[in-house]
Structure 1
């Protein structure tokens, strides 16, 4: 007897957003990882953050749904930015889930490349508890997704902590030792980004610098934040009273909330508490704008930044695993 997914599955994007999409969105699973609900999908699709051509399904030869992959992008994105949800049916044997999911993700990747995408989307495995490794059900659910991501070429893996500040927490004290000055010149800001990236603990920045060099890596960050929903005029450079560059602050936003964005301190001034002052400036800026929620992320290995968030009244709300393709 063959198992539900032992025959070669049919892999394709949703071509008929009606009945076919209803079927794909109805896929359920008892696994403990976050699942995308049909209502949430439709709300995002109305804003073009999910699209039928970014929603892929694997079916058995007789048409039974075996797995789905849903990619996300911004409303104006030409190509998807991240794989948001990857799931198989509970009936799929555990030993086959990774192969089935990898084939589905790879099919999506090939289609995105054919449509002009220059880079492969990330895979964000969201909303894991901090101790997910200690729970057998969470660990098993992560394991096959991790294997599938690697098989599909997303072999660079970073674990990140998600933080959140809300008005229920006290505002961090107003910075007393730094002066924050708007800097409209992108080239000046780029030079500051190169400086604060020296010796960074951020895994993506280290990888980008190794592959492309410090200035290209900084330019990638600059362009990333210019493309976010936040405004360029929010950005500032931080100076000591004698005019020495201390760091930079980029308050930003996602389609869902205000966020910390990017901050950093130049290497020669680290260890003096300036990171907390820059974070306080960003938090107070967002709060003054009426933000009811300010989010932030940092790598699990960046313990100084995680500690700064905690001191500023941010709480750790989830853990994420981010898989990406090696930089070319």
Structure 2
């Protein structure tokens, strides 16, 4: 058996995988679309093949189009004829992890329906993939609630409690650093285990600058008296407009200002004619989940994130 990254001439074989599990996302249409914009790449798609060249397994990772290393595993597939699919898939992921540049382990994102635990087929698909991920070093687990706003949902009027202004990258880096203190967001907390506060803020800035959303949409938030209160970042991903990032400074939390920040993002996208605004938050971040619900965002799914040890670089 041979395990390797693909090359361009493997495309037809990569697209030939027939995934019947209810949790896979790298179907042929998606693969071609993401391959065209650089989110998928031959070097980030790994396969296992037997001595005769028959495809036994495939794993597909996603990255930013201008990124230099994969960031998230989107799909793992194993042929039905493989005697031990869990072992083969774990071997495939482990080999790829060892070859990827930059150290660390890309996360595995599994997209699920809201009540996924009530569906036996989905539970089975998740259980198999959890075991594969754990064997490959992805032992951390987080559920993120997925929300969406659609036309007909409320577009809140400004309350006057905050004033929104444009600002430069240095100002946003500073507010990212300050908002990270005592954050309930798992990704922020994990970032602070790897990096100091300034480096974590700079990495956050770089990540949001890579997203397809327009940098001109970003806003700092101040009180009418001029006190910095937080920020609101409407953004976009491959699927369209999203609630990119928002945060309230620690000293002003508990006053309901999260509603004003989310309202600003919703107004910004709605004014440009958005037909859908996507968003998500950690299942354990009760205040943010409640803010989405107050703002008329509907829960439509769960993102299960399997990750390497906290603090790994």
TM over 0.5: yes
Find the aligned partners of 2:138 and 2:218 in 1 and give their Cα distance: 32
Verify the 8 A CA contact 2:44 2:62 in the aligned structure 1: yes
Query: Counterpart in 1 of 2:45?
Result: 55
Q: 1:78 aligns with which of 68, 71, 92?
A: 68
Is the counterpart of residue 14 in structure 1 residue 6 in structure 2?
A: yes
Match of 1:270 in 2: 253
1:1-40 correspondence runs (5 A): 9-17=1-9, 20-40=10-30
Q: Cα RMSD between the aligned structures?
A: 2.0
1:260-318 CA-to-partner distances (Å, cap 9, x unmatched) read: 11101122222221101100001101111222221111111112111111111211121
Distance 1:246 1:289, change over 3 A: same
Q: Which of 99, 105, 110 is residue 98 of structure 2 equivalent to? A: 110
- Aligned-partner Cα distance in 2 for 1:71–1:181: 37
Match of 2:174 among 179, 191, 215: 191
Structure 1 residues 119-138: aligned runs within 5 Å: 119-126=104-111, 128-138=112-122
Residue equivalent to 2:268? 285
Superposition deviation, residue 118 in structure 1: 4.5
Contact 1:249 1:263 (C-alpha < 8 Å) held by counterparts: yes
Q: 1:45 aligns with which of 19, 28, 35?
A: 35
Q: 1:211 to 1:82 in 2, by over 3 A?
A: closer
1:175–1:278 contact (8 Å) kept in structure 2:
no
Pick aligned residue for 1:179 from 149, 153, 163: 163
3-state SS in 1 of match to 2:94:
helix
Rounded to whole Å, the distance in 2 between the matches of 1:70 and 1:271 is 42
Q: Partners in 2 of 1:77 and 1:191 — Cα distance?
A: 24
Q: Distance in 2 between matches of 1:225 and 1:308?
A: 22
Contact 1:260–1:282 (8 Å) recurs in 2 = yes
Distance (Å, rounded) in 2 between the aligned partners of 1:90 and 1:175: 57
The TM-score, its normalising length taken from structure 1, stands at 0.87
Maintained 8 Å contact 2:40/2:60 = yes
TM-score, normalised with respect to structure 2? 0.91
Q: Say which SS state the counterpart of residue 43 (structure 1) adopts.
A: helix
- In structure 1, C-alpha distance between the alignment counterparts of 2:299 and 2:56, rounded to whole Å: 34
On the 8 A contact 2:63/2:70 being kept in 1, the answer is yes
Matched, 1:296 2:279: yes
- Cα distance change, pair 236–35 in 1 and its aligned pair in 2 (3 A): closer
Preserved CA contact (<8 Å) 2:64 2:210: no
Partner residue of 1:210 out of 193, 196, 201: 193
Between the aligned partners of 2:27 and 2:189, the Cα distance in structure 1 is 36
Query: Paired residue for 2:124, among 140, 159, 162?
Result: 140
Indicate if the aligned counterparts of 1:172 and 1:313 stay in contact, CA closer than 8 A: no
How many residues are paired up? Answer: 311
